[in-house]
């Protein structure tokens, strides 16, 4: 990163209680408004110092020697600047001083820091981080690696070289070269920003280099199944047992709102007695570690009972015989075709279906739905509420009937 301004100033700095005699000379280096001073270990009589030329007045040998020394220091600053440019390192007053004083700090390189973060995250996969989250950070690292090669033709970059343009250019690269949609690109930039924020917290960066960069996602209309489509799934007879099992697992999520990993991790110990004396699911969302307490609806209870003696449930102490997310989604496409459902069926659509068709459309308050979904903020749940036109129509119809009744009286 090239500096916008570089200033070099030699000046006298009188010590406390100064009366007469020579005064120490200092060199001040200023880069982009940030400055640092270095003692030159030389001195000069104030009467002989020219503050405009920043040199000692006169032509005697001692004066020429002092001025030549100051010239050399100035050249060394520019040489240090050249070294930083060649090494593609950040040019700051501090980095220039470190070279001049022989105290160069080992630079923190972005990809090295990123890779170390991912290594630690991978070690905690399945406990503190969902495997999909680990994969997304690994993918982000590879995107950043490719971006550095294309944009700067380098294999890595000093974190001090990062700035607003880096984030903006990286977003453009993701959209143009990697063909990411807007929200995916923002997710990847957000992952990069987490790494950068860690550098700030560790004291390796003085400030957030991406300050002011906006990462607003575009609202996505979340797909879900209608009640008619749920009924179609529930009533369909399948000749293949694996399709029956996948259909049941999907419907279980429709009636509980649990995401794939949360259903996968369920054991019989997660079923307990709620405040109403009936069976509830007590769990914690893998993604956010937010607790979820969900009363079991009769269809969900029936699915649990159906697989209670399944070998996978018995041998592995699982509540349900879950498959991999990849297999589930592949079989769900087959099920959608057999049921005449035109939507691209994925396991996560079941969670959206619970939020919309099963709960909000049936008058369950949004605060209750948010709690069952394990959302940290009700604002997240409101994305589902915005798309239920049927519920809006029903509520307004009730209002119209009340108004009509009032007018009739």
pLDDT tens per residue across span 196-246: 999 988 878 888 999 988 887 776 667 889 899 999 999 999 989 999 999
CA distances from 122 to 116, 130, 138, 193, 283 (A): 10, 9, 9, 19, 23
pLDDT band at 5 (very low <50, low <70, confident <90, very high): confident
More confident residue, 56 or 404: 56
Q: Collect all residues with Cβ–Cβ distance below 8 Å to 50 and sequence separation of at least 6.
A: 56, 57
Q: How many CB atoms lie within 10 A of CB 94?
A: 16
Q: Across the beta sheet with 271-273, what order do the strands follow?
A: 271-273, 279-284, 291-295
User: Is the pLDDT confidence value at 272 over 90?
Assistant: yes
Mean pLDDT of 107-126: 91
The answer to which of 147-151, 291-295, 302-306 has the lowest mean pLDDT is: 291-295
pLDDT at 333 over 70: yes
Position 93 scores a pLDDT of: 87
| Mean pLDDT value of segment 271-286 | 88
Query: What is the mean pLDDT of the segment spanning 353-382?
Result: 85
Quick one: tokens of 365? 């308050």
Question: How far is residue 297 from each of residues 30, 277, 354, 372, 373, measured CA to CA in Å?
Answer: 68, 13, 11, 13, 15
At residue 83 the predicted structure's pLDDT band, cuts being 50, 70 and 90, is confident
More confidently predicted of 102 and 319:
319
Of the candidate ranges 88-97, 153-162, 290-299, the one whose mean pLDDT is the lowest: 88-97
CA distances from 405 to 85, 397, 398 (A): 80, 12, 11
Least confident among 55-59, 105-109, 245-249: 105-109
Residue 342 has pLDDT above 70, yes or no: yes
Instruction: Indicate if the pLDDT at residue 132 is higher than 60.
Output: yes
Q: Which of 188, 352, 375 is nearest to 288 (CA)?
A: 375
> Residue range 266-292: average pLDDT?
85
Beta strand 34-44 with 49-50 is: unpaired
pLDDT at 53: 95
* Strands 34-44, 291-295: pairing kind: unpaired
The pLDDT value recorded for residue 127 is 75
Burial (Cβ within 10 Å: 0-12, 13-18, ≥19) of residue 239: exposed
Question: Of all residues in the chain, what percent carry a pLDDT higher than 90?
Answer: 60
Q: What is the DSSP letter of 129?
A: B
More confident residue, 205 or 167: 167
pLDDT band at 250 (very low <50, low <70, confident <90, very high): very high
* Alpha carbon of residue 140 to chain centroid: 10
Q: How many CB atoms lie within 10 A of CB 301?
A: 15
Q: What confidence score (pLDDT) does residue 320 get?
A: 95
pLDDT beyond 60 at 387: no
For residue 393 the two structure tokens come to: 């129509």
* Triad 80, 163, 8: Cα angle to 5°: 30
Report the pLDDT value the prediction gives residue 386, as an integer from 0 to 100. Answer: 58
d(CA 186, CA 167): 10
Q: What is the pLDDT of residue 1?
A: 47
Q: How confident is the model at residue 391 (pLDDT cuts 50, 70, 90)?
A: low
For the chain, give the mean pLDDT: 88
Per DSSP, the three-state class of 49 is strand
């Amino acid at each position: 990163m090239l500096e916008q301004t570089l200033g070099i100033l030699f000046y006298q700095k009188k010590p406390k209680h100064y009366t007469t005699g020579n005064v120490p000379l200092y060199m001040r280096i200023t880069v982009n408004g940030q400055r640092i001073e270095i003692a030159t270990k030389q001195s000069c009589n104030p009467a002989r110092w020219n503050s405009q030329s920043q040199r000692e007045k006169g032509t005697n040998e001692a004066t020429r020697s002092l001025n030549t020394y100051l010239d050399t220091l100035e050249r060394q600053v520019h040489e240090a600047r050249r070294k930083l440019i060649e090494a593609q390192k950040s040019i700051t007053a501090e980095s220039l001083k470190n070279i001049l004083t022989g105290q160069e700090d080992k630079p923190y390189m972005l990809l090295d820091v990123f890779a170390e973060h991912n290594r630690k995250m991978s070690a905690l996969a399945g406990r503190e981080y969902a495997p999909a989250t680990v994969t997304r950070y690994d993918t982000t690292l590879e995107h950043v690696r490719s971006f550095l090669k294309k944009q700067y033709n380098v294999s890595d970059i000093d974190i001090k070289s990062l700035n607003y343009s880096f984030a903006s250019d990286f977003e453009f690269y993701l959209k143009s070269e990697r063909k990411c949609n807007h929200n995916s690109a923002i997710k990847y930039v957000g992952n990069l920003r987490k790494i950068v924020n860690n550098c700030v917290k560790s004291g390796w960066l003085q400030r957030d280099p991406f300050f002011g960069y906006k990462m607003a996602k575009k609202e996505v209309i979340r797909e879900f199944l209608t009640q008619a489509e749920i009924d179609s799934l529930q009533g369909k007879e399948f000749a293949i047992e694996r399709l029956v099992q996948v259909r049941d697992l999907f419907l279980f999520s429709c009636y509980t709102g649990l995401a794939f990993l949360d259903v996968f991790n369920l054991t019989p110990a997660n079923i307990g007695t709620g405040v109403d004396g009936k069976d509830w699911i007590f769990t914690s969302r893998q993604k956010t570690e937010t607790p979820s307490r969900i009363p079991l609806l009769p269809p969900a209870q029936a699915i649990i009972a159906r697989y209670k003696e399944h070998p996978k449930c018995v041998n592995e102490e699982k509540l349900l015989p879950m498959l991999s997310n990849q297999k589930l989604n592949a079989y769900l496409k087959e099920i959608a075709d057999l049921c005449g459902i035109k939507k691209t069926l994925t396991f996560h659509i079941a969670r959206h279906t619970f939020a919309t068709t099963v709960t909000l459309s049936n008058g369950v308050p949004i605060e209750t739905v948010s709690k069952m979904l394990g959302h940290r903020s009700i604002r997240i749940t409101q994305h589902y509420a915005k798309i239920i036109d049927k519920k809006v129509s029903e509520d307004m119809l009730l209002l119209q009937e009340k108004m009509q009744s009032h007018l009739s009286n």
